[in-house]
Amino acid sequence: MSTTAAPAALRKTALNATHRRLGAKMVDFGGWDMPVEYSGLIAEHMAVRTGVGVFDVSHMGDIQLRGPNSLAAVQHISMNDASKLKEGQAHYSALLYPNGTFVDDVIVHKFSDNDYLLVINAGTREKDVNWVRQNVGRMQGVHVSDYSDLYTQLAIQGPRAVDVLRKLTDRDLDGIRNYWFTWGTVCGLHNTLIARTGYTGEDGFEIYVPSDVPTSERVWNEVLEAGKEFGILPSGLGARNTLRLESSMALYGHEISDEINVFEAGLDRYAKLDKGDFIGRDALEAVRAGGGPKRKLAGLEMTERGIARDGYAVLSPDGKKIGAVASGSPSPFLKKNIALAHLPIEFIAPATEIAVEIRSQPVKAVVVPTPFYKRPKKQA
């Protein structure tokens, strides 16, 4: 008789049946049954860059810290300076281990002086919640709540995202700046969180609605209906990945991990070492005092024909392995093959020639500035 345990059932968002009805190709993503594409990765990617797309990102996690010591708790466990946040403002940050490497990267939202929301990644959800509870769960004046399963989170992204959402809400969206948020009525739902955030490098919004299936499906369908005139496409994790890669946004397990420190990831601008003590600060101070990191994340563009896939070896001009591709793909918008890789400091200057090993052969590439793509500034 076999003693092998049955594989754990994949978790599903409230929109799982909707994705399947739309003919989405579904994949296992961090234990979740998620859509990787609907009409095709390139079409979805280009819709977001030039018009608008909508993503189900309900697999993301939500940790709320409340109480008179909630700011002290956020400051202790995250590297950015949350004391600078105003009510209704968010910022990018990270939870770090004592050695300065990543538990996860997060978006911190300030609801009030005594109320903060941390939006965390899906693949690290349980680990993050446990880590936060271990480190601040016993602090007086702080209550930690995992609200991850209470919300369906939709990301409406692209230059026409504001036009779509404007048809569905009573709020003045032009008054919400990037990385700010508000509450308003969306699709008839009162007190909906509306955040001008995203993971695509485009303008856009993330809305949080109740996670019951009927409400989630109704809101999803109303977003698609409102976006019809702008060519909206339901978009999957495939396009989300190529969009964030073009914009050089980190993905856990690739550009950041428990083996990569903040300086190596090129995210030290978000680590406020002068704000006071926080987990990982001493290690980062030691790196800085020691002359900085020995390797750093760099952008690569292939100059010979070939795609630098995740994990491929990066070689010096004389053929020595100097690193590995963290993320790599053809760029649908830029029409180039691009990649991110952690390389020794002496190889990270733009225009440095290197190679990527593809099918046991060195294929030429060059180091280029990042991000690969920046969205155009609005005309005055």
Average pLDDT over residues 191-202: 98
Nearest CA to 255 out of 340, 315, 349 is that of 340
Pairing of strands 353-358, 336-344: unpaired
Is residue 128 within 8 Å of residue 145, measured between CB atoms? Answer: no
How do residues 74-116 score in pLDDT, each as one tens digit? 999 999 999 999 999 999 999 999 999 999 999 999 999 999 9
Please count the residues of the chain: 380
- Residue 25, beta-bridge partner list: 37
User: CA-CA-CA-CA torsion for 211, 185, 199, 180, nearest 10 degrees?
Assistant: -130
Sheet with 189-195: strands ordered across: 181-186, 189-195, 204-210, 151-157, 53-56, 233-234
* Residue 245 backbone zone (phi > 0: left; psi -120 to 50: alpha; other: beta): alpha
Give CA–CA dist 279/198, Å, rounded: 26
* pLDDT reading at 1 higher than 70: no
> pTM (2 decimals)?
0.95
How do residues 26-48 score in pLDDT, each as one tens digit? 999 989 999 999 999 999 999 99
34 phi, psi to nearest 5 deg: -125, 150
CA distances from 224 to 11, 26, 183, 205 (A): 24, 20, 21, 14
Q: What's residue 377's pLDDT? A: 79
Q: What's residue 380's pLDDT? A: 43
Q: What's residue 3's pLDDT? A: 52
Nearest CA to 276 out of 79, 101, 141 is that of 79
pLDDT-above-70 percentage for the chain: 98
Q: What's residue 2's pLDDT? A: 47
* pLDDT reading at 14 higher than 70: yes
The CATH class of 294-368 is mainly beta
Average pLDDT over residues 279-302: 97
CB atoms within 10 A of CB 98: 10
The residue type at 12? K
Residue linked to tokens 């969180």 = 193
CATH 2.60.120.380 matches 16-56+150-246: no
How do residues 124-134 score in pLDDT, each as one tens digit? 899 999 999 99
* pLDDT reading at 5 higher than 90: no
Average pLDDT in the chain: 96
- For 191-206, the DSSP string reads EEEEE---SSSS-EEE
Is residue 206 within 8 Å of residue 155, measured between CB atoms? Answer: yes
* pLDDT reading at 376 higher than 90: no
Alpha carbons within 13 A on the beta-carbon side of 260: 25
How do residues 128-168 score in pLDDT, each as one tens digit? 999 999 999 999 999 999 999 999 999 999 999 999 999 99
Residue 135: Cβ-neighbour burial (10 angstroms; 0-12, 13-18, 19+): middle
Instruction: For the chain, report the end-to-end CA distance as a whole number of angstroms.
Output: 72
Give CA–CA dist 152/174, Å, rounded: 24
CA distances from 294 to 236, 288, 342 (A): 36, 11, 10
Domain boundaries, the chain: 16-56+150-246, 294-368
Average pLDDT over residues 167-180: 97
Q: What's residue 257's pLDDT? A: 97
More confident residue, 165 or 7: 165
How do residues 223-252 score in pLDDT, each as one tens digit? 999 999 999 999 999 999 999 999 999 999
